[in-house]
Every structure is written in C-alpha cells, then in structure tokens.
Amino acid sequence: MYNTLKVEDQNSLAFLNLLQGFDYTVYTDFMHRSSRVIAPLISVGRWLGLLYIFLSLFTAGGILYRFTQFSGQPARVSFSIGAFWQACSYYIGRFGRLFGVTLLFMIIGGGIWLVAGTLLGVVLNDSLTERGEFWIGIFFFALALLTVAFVFCIGDYAKVIMFREDERQAFRAFGRAGRLVLNNLSKTYVLYCLLILIGTALFGVYFLLDELILMSSWLTILLMFLVQQSLVFARVGLKVWSLGMAYVIYETFPKPQPVLRPIPIAAPTDELAQTDAKPTAEESPNQPN
C-alpha cells in the first residue's frame, strides 16, 4: 500500500499544499485518478483484516494455555502442538462471543466521539476555516482511538478472565474486566497504550528503512524482504506480549475469596430419636436452677 501510494503520487507537487493546511481537493483528485489501483488493495486489506481477526481469536486460547505451563511450574514444560491446537479450538466459541461484545462497545464508544466531532463541525461550519475543521476532526478522532484502545484493553483482560475462571458469559466477563481496568489504569491501560506506541514506532522505523534501502538489486530486495518479515514477527510478538501482560498482571491482583456456606449433615434416624427422647434443660428434674 505504501509503495503504491508513492508510485501513484507521480512526484506531484500538489501534496505539498497539505503542509500549509488540509485541502480536500487534493484528496479527491488523487482518488479520482488512482482509485483503480487503490481499490483492489483496500479489498485485499479487508479480507486480510477478517483473517487476522479470526486467527487472533483462534490462537488466543492456545497462547493463554501456554502461559499456564510457565506459571507455577518448577521446570519448563515442553511445547505440545496438539495441546496448543486443542486449547485454541476449545476457547474459540467464547472468544468469538467476547469479540462481538467488544465490537459493540467499540462502535458505541468510538462512535460517540466521531458523532460529537461531526456535529461540532456542522455547528461551527460558518465560523471555521477548512484547517479549523480539520483540527477538530483530528482531536475527536484521537479521542475515538483512545476509547477504542481502552475497549480492546478490556477485551484482553476479559479473555484472561474467561480462561482462568472458566467464565462462559461474555458480557459478565467484559464487565468484570472493565471494572478491573478502571481501578488499575496505570497497570493496565497505560501499559497497553505503551505497546501500541511501540508498534507505531516499528512502522516508523520500517518506513525509514524503506527509504534508505533502494531495491535495485537482488541483495537489496532480499534485505528488504528480511526487514519486512522482521516487522511481521515483531508485530506478532507485541500481540502475544499484550495478552501475556494481561495474564501476568491479572494474576497479581487479589482475588475475592469464595464464601463457604455450612453444609447440613443429616444425622441417622436412631440418633435423632434418642435426641428427641432426652429431656431438655427445663424438663430435667436434676438440672439446677
């Protein structure tokens, strides 16, 4: 996508106008000329996004199961691909329902900010320039992104709750995770945002290397291929790191102790008969007053 955008801009100087302020005409002219090339990439990205979501949900159970093999074990447990896939398939239904709940709150939380920004832009349309409307949009879009990140952070902790406590109700697990994250923002949401910033920085490093490494020979093409694969593995590592961080942090939180209720024990029938036959304190003649 990035290289296609660089080729399609054809070194046009029109994009330099964006440095002075947002110009919607530049965007519309670009899409009118290059939509035939951009549209297939967007379609491929849509299907890859759905595949990514499915794999994220499917492998989450196996990843969490692997974490349990390291916690509280005196020695390292060898990896079993069969047990890993079994855990993946066992929890895919629960995590699928949880993703539906997470998506619902993501649309509601992020949509509130986007609608508020749109309404504010409409109200101030006559008094703001195009640059002012752009900055209002950026501000509310940033709030929407922070809200979406918060919802996804809750979703990770809800996965841990459903895994560790065998919780099957997605809404209940999401609610418990939400209260946990709200009560421990510095240990949960702040660290989650830090991982997002690390992932964003990795993309920045990649774009810099892409500018420096000109793929003009087989050696540079191979080098750029290694850089791309390193970025992919780093992103996967961050995803696993995020889930593992939620798992470890959740284990450090105090858990409510279960309330033990007395279990009535039925006495034998003959003992009950003997107890009924004995005189009480008021009926016994030898009992002192």
Provide the pLDDT confidence category of residue 171 given band limits of 50, 70 and 90.
Answer: very high
pLDDT (average), residues 113-122: 86
Residue with the bigger pLDDT between 116 and 26: it is: 116
Is position 12 within any domain?
Answer: yes
Range with lowest mean pLDDT among 60-74, 146-160, 175-189: 60-74
Provide the pLDDT confidence category of residue 40 given band limits of 50, 70 and 90.
Answer: confident
Is position 237 within any domain?
Answer: no
**DSSP state string for 263-288:** PP-PPPHHHHHHHHHS--TTT-TTS-
Is position 96 within any domain?
Answer: yes
pLDDT of residue 273: 52
pTM: 0.75
Is position 168 within any domain?
Answer: yes
CB 122 within 8 A of CB 211: no
CB 87 within 8 A of CB 61: yes
Range with lowest mean pLDDT among 9-23, 28-42, 202-216: 9-23
**Integer Cα distance of 175 and 166 in angstroms:** 15
Share of the chain above pLDDT 70, in %: 81
168 burial class (0-12, 13-18, 19+ CB within 10 angstroms)?
exposed
pLDDT over 90 (residue 99): yes
Provide the pLDDT confidence category of residue 215 given band limits of 50, 70 and 90.
Answer: confident
pLDDT of residue 39: 83
Provide the pLDDT confidence category of residue 74 given band limits of 50, 70 and 90.
Answer: low
pLDDT of residue 69: 77
Is position 172 within any domain?
Answer: yes
Two structure tokens written together for 287 = 């009992």
Is position 196 within any domain?
Answer: no
Number of domains in the chain: 1
Residue with the bigger pLDDT between 126 and 144: it is: 144
Residue pLDDT, tens place only, 242-281: 999 999 999 888 765 544 445 555 445 555 455 555 454 4
- Domain range for 42 is 2-70+78-184
Is position 26 within any domain?
Answer: yes
Is position 266 within any domain?
Answer: no
74 burial class (0-12, 13-18, 19+ CB within 10 angstroms)?
exposed
Residue with the bigger pLDDT between 193 and 73: it is: 193
pLDDT (average), residues 111-127: 84
User: Taking Cα atoms as reference points, which of 139, 243, 237 lies closest to residue 191?
Assistant: 243
